[in-house]
C-alpha cells in the first residue's frame, strides 16, 4: 500500500504541478527540480509496488492459494495494470510515446492499482474490469486536455 500511496500522490501532484508550471510556456530551473523530485518519488513508489507484489505472490504460493486467488479477475486486472504502467513508464522515459497520452495512462493506472488494492471483494469479470480501465484512460486523457487548455487560456 505504501508504494501505491506514493505513486498515486506523486503522479497526481506531478500532473498538477506540470500543468501549473507550463502556464507561462516554460519550466525554469526551480520548477524542473520540483518535477524531478516528484519523478523520483514516483519511481520509488513503482519499485515498492512491484517488490511488494512479488512478495505477496510468493506468500500466496507458499500457502498454496491456487488459481482462485492467482487467476481471479481482480488479481489479473491488477497485474495487467501494473505491467501497462511499467511499459508506459519505459516508453515515456525514451520518448517513444506521446507524453500527454503517457501521463493519462500513468495516472489512471496508479488510481486503478489503488482501487483494486482496496476493493478486495470485487466480483466483476476480467473483461468488464479491463473495459472500464481502458474507458477511464480515455476519460482521464480528455479531462487532462480540458484542464490544460483552460490553464493556457487563463494565462
Partner 1 sequence: MSYLLIFVLVSHIILGVLGAAFLVAYLLAFSKNRDDSGYLTRMSFFAFIAFTASWIFSGYYYVTYYGKAVKPIILKAEFSWAHTVLMESKEHIFLFLPFLSLALFAVTMVFRREFSENKKLSFSVVSLCFTTVSIALLVTIFGMVVSGAVAK
Q: How far is the CB of 50 from partner 1 (least distance, A)?
A: 8
Q: According to the binding rule CB under 8 A, does residue 62 interact with partner 1? A: yes
Site track 68-87 with partner 1 (rule: CB under 8 A), x = hit: xxxx-------x--------
CB 89 within 8 A of CB 140: no
Residues 154, 49: Cα–Cα separation, whole Å: 37
Q: How far is the CB of 87 from partner 1 (least distance, A)?
A: 10
Query: What Rg, from alpha-carbon coordinates, does the chain have?
Result: 17
Q: Cα angle vertex 133, ends 79, 19, to 5°?
A: 105
Q: How many CB atoms lie within 10 A of CB 127?
A: 10
Q: How far is the CB of 94 from partner 1 (least distance, A)?
A: 6
Q: Choose, by CB under 8 A, the member of 60, 102, 141, 148 that binds partner 1.
A: 60
Q: Choose, by CB under 8 A, the member of 25, 26, 30, 67 that binds partner 1.
A: 67
Q: According to the binding rule CB under 8 A, does residue 32 interact with partner 1? A: no
Stretch that binds partner 1, among 27-35, 59-67, 101-109, 120-128 (CB under 8 A): 59-67
Q: According to the binding rule CB under 8 A, does residue 146 interact with partner 1? A: no
25: left (phi over 0), alpha (psi -120 to 50) or beta: left
**Count of helix runs (H) and strand runs (E) in the chain:** 6, 0
Q: Choose, by CB under 8 A, the member of 94, 120, 121, 155 that binds partner 1.
A: 94
Residues 25, 120: Cα–Cα separation, whole Å: 43
Residues that bind partner 1 (CB under 8 A): 50, 54, 57-58, 60-62, 64, 66-71, 79, 90, 93-94
Amino acid at each position: 500500500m505504501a508504494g501505491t500511496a506514493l505513486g498515486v500522490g506523486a503522479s497526481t501532484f506531478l500532473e498538477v504541478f506540470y500543468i501549473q508550471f507550463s502556464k507561462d510556456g516554460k519550466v525554469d530551473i526551480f520548477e524542473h527540480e520540483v518535477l524531478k523530485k516528484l519523478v523520483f518519488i514516483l519511481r520509488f513508489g513503482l519499485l515498492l509496488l512491484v517488490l511488494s507484489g512479488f512478495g505477496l505472490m510468493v506468500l500466496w504460493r507458499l500457502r498454496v492459494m491456487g488459481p482462485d486467488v492467482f487467476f481471479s479477475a481482480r488479481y489479473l486486472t491488477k497485474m495487467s495494470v501494473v505491467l501497462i504502467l511499467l511499459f508506459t513508464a519505459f516508453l515515456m522515459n525514451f520518448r517513444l510515446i506521446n507524453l500527454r497520452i503517457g501521463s493519462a495512462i500513468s495516472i489512471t493506472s496508479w488510481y486503478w492499482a489503488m482501487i483494486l488494492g482496496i476493493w478486495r471483494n470485487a466480483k466483476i469479470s476480467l473483461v468488464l474490469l479491463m473495459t472500464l480501465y481502458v474507458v477511464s484512460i480515455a476519460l482521464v486523457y480528455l479531462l487532462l486536455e480540458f484542464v490544460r487548455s483552460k490553464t493556457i487560456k487563463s494565462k
